[in-house]
Amino acid sequence: MSNPLLIEFRTSFESAPFSNIKPEHFIPAIKKTISIALNEIDAITKQEEIPSFKNSLESLEYCGKLIGRNSSLLFNLNSAETSHDLQKITQEAAPLLTQFQNDIRLNHSLFERIKYVYENEDKSLLTAEQITLLQKEYKGFIRNGALLNIDKKNKLRELDTQLAQLSLTFGEHVLKDTQAYFLQIENEGDLKGLPDAVIEMAKTIASEKKIKGWVFTLDHPSYVPFMTYTENRELRKEMSIAFGKRGFQNNDQNNTIIILKIIKLRQERAQLLGYQSHAEFVLEERMAQSVENVKDFLDKLSLKAHPAAQKEWNIMSDFASKHLNINSLKKWDTAFVAEKLKQATLDLNEQELKPYFPLQKVLNGLFKIVQKLYGITLHKNLDIDTYHDEVEVYEVHKEGKFYALLYTDFFPRSGKQSGAWMTSYRSQKINQRPHISIVCNFSRPSKKQTSLLTFQEVTTLFHEFGHALHGMLANTTYSGLSGTSVYWDFVELPSQIMENWCYQPEALAIFAKHFETDEIIPSSFIEKIKKAAHFQQGLQTLRQLSFGYLDLSYHNKDASKIKDVKEHEKNQINSLQFTKDTSENCMSTAFSHIFQGGYAAGYYSYKWAEVLDADAFELFLEKGIFDKKTSHSFLENILSKGGTEHPMKLYKRFRGKKPEPNALLRRAGLT
């Protein structure tokens, strides 16, 4: 019993005992718990009772508990605190877990029981949640090969195993290329334009690497401010090219062949299941429903955004020529020039805002905001084990009762993927509360100064916390329908709507306080922030749309015709970009959302969810951003319900009507 992953955790709230879990524990535990789960499934199929929801669907829902827990631990650690050993173990575990999933989905006897229930159970005796679970499982089996013959089932197993391993390898390559590069500056003059805090952070990184001068990396807290503020154009170019060629270099981390393999295998898998393309397969279970609907959605937004983007580009180009001596804007100039233009036209310097956004005060303020909205309180627990010293744990309580654990992990480090995400260590179901984690890569504190966030980092924190609320406030019977287990183009609504509170004076007064004086952010700054929300919305919208089009192109019926990743990408997005292509760079080879994450044929959902959140927040604006009735309705109909009903039903129950697409255009100033 020395392997802690083979038993239930006997800890506070059954939290993970990270200090006791070693990489070598995972494979034996996964193999053993798979064996246990398959025996449980065998028992379901061999029972003599007539199939019913209770003895088939419910029994299936409750089996394999330890596998879900252990695989969540492994994959979450591989993202947030990886190592060479952990990566090897994850590569070994992926095909085992894929095979296990296929052993379930391709189990003919199990499918026959579920099919019987689907066709014969008296639906009037089932709850709405039970009906949804039944429909989801029945369709899930069919969509994962239950109707295929034995040869095709074996082919599906082979495809799924290959795809699982390729996806992991893609992410490992991006991480290695990200960490392999850094820019060392020894001439202090090359730091001109950079804020003091950024320079100090670069000095700290250099000290950690035991080299002279200042060091800038491709991690976002280092890369983004460097590209935004440094006046040395040649160094901006060097950093930009280094960032853009991750996964696209002549080394072992090149992802171009992997991309071609992934899109080929995804299409082959879709066609095996009777679909024309991976996009058609995916979108059948989305609010958008079809490739045509997504394309129409993107086209309509593009039609509105393009004229605004062209106007914004012309203004920026003219400004660069007149004031910055840059006559031809390159991609390494855009963030720098946009910031200078913003300072000139809005009288807004992002660095002036940072003192009002110390991480801890923002976090405490965010806790107060969600308490006002949803009646939850968060208290730090210093006794619960974590996977790194920087990770903190909070107990979440509602109406005096324990409701969830929240892990927070805010700063970049070696072994941690870039970006920001929310994840779960334990799902919610009846009589079980969830363990949720948010992982970010914010500017870390220095010896002289606390961590001060950019406004973009503030909105990122609120965004990920919105996802966390979706997980923490879930209140369903079955974990398969809990929290973020919803249609993928609905999952961003709780996260994106939370960003709206970052722009409201009443909310800013709670969390935007000077790190030294505790002074509330001046109203003049708030006005600038609100104006900045409309700054270059055309260009920003066009950029997001280009990613949506590119994603769709890799997964439509013509995807198998792609022979050259770089050339294909160039053809897809050139018309939506104003800078010339950089031959050394390829965005696709680091497009982890679609080649490693779950956004394949779904990147459009960011904009789709913006329509939902803009429309939903208009009700908060109408009633009051802390209106109890409105927030209670959002909690009851959206946050707590997960995927227990169709998302449009849930949305209409909250809003009283279908979402109004023009709400997004109004908010973005594109009408």
Q: How far apart are CA 24 and CA 32, in angstroms?
A: 14
Give the three-state DSSP class for 436: strand
Nearest partner of 387 among 33, 6, 78, judged by Cα = 78
**Token digits for 523?**
């109203």
377 strand-pairing partners: 397
Q: How far apart are CA 123 and CA 117, in angstroms?
A: 10
Provide the residue count of the chain. Answer: 671
**Token digits for 136?**
């989801």
**Residues 6 or more apart in contact with residue 130 via CB below 8 angstroms:** 53, 57, 477
Q: How far apart are CA 589 and CA 258, in angstroms?
A: 9
Q: How far apart are CA 116 and CA 138, in angstroms?
A: 10
215 strand-pairing partners: 184
CA-to-CA dists, residue 543 to 109, 329, 578, 621, angstroms: 48, 16, 10, 28
For residues 95 and 152, is the Cβ–Cβ distance under 8 A?
Answer: no
Q: Is 464 a catalytic residue?
A: yes
Alpha-helical runs (H) found in 250-358: 256-272, 278-283, 291-323, 334-346, 350-353
> Which one of 129, 172, 464, 610 is the catalytic residue?
464
For residues 187 and 429, is the Cβ–Cβ distance under 8 A?
Answer: no
Q: How far apart are CA 617 and CA 663, in angstroms?
A: 9
Handedness of CA 100, 106, 111, 112 (dihedral sign): negative
CA-to-CA dists, residue 12 to 381, 382, 435, angstroms: 10, 12, 12
For residues 555 and 278, is the Cβ–Cβ distance under 8 A?
Answer: yes
Distant-in-sequence contacts of 288-295, Cβ < 8 A, 24+ apart? 288/489, 288/604, 288/605, 288/608, 291/552, 291/556, 294/548, 294/552, 294/604, 295/552
For residues 621 and 576, is the Cβ–Cβ distance under 8 A?
Answer: no
For residues 356 and 514, is the Cβ–Cβ distance under 8 A?
Answer: yes
HEC-encoded secondary structure of 55-99? HHHHHHHHCCHHHHHHHHHHHHHHHHCCCHHHHHHHHHHHHHHHH
245 strand-pairing partners: none
Give the three-state DSSP class for 21: coil
Q: How far apart are CA 616 and CA 241, in angstroms?
A: 40
One-letter amino acid at 24 equals E
Q: How far apart are CA 334 and CA 348, in angstroms?
A: 17
Burial of 344 (0-12, 13-18, 19+ CB in 10 A): exposed
**Token digits for 627?**
């209106």
What are the residue numbers of the active site? Answer: 464
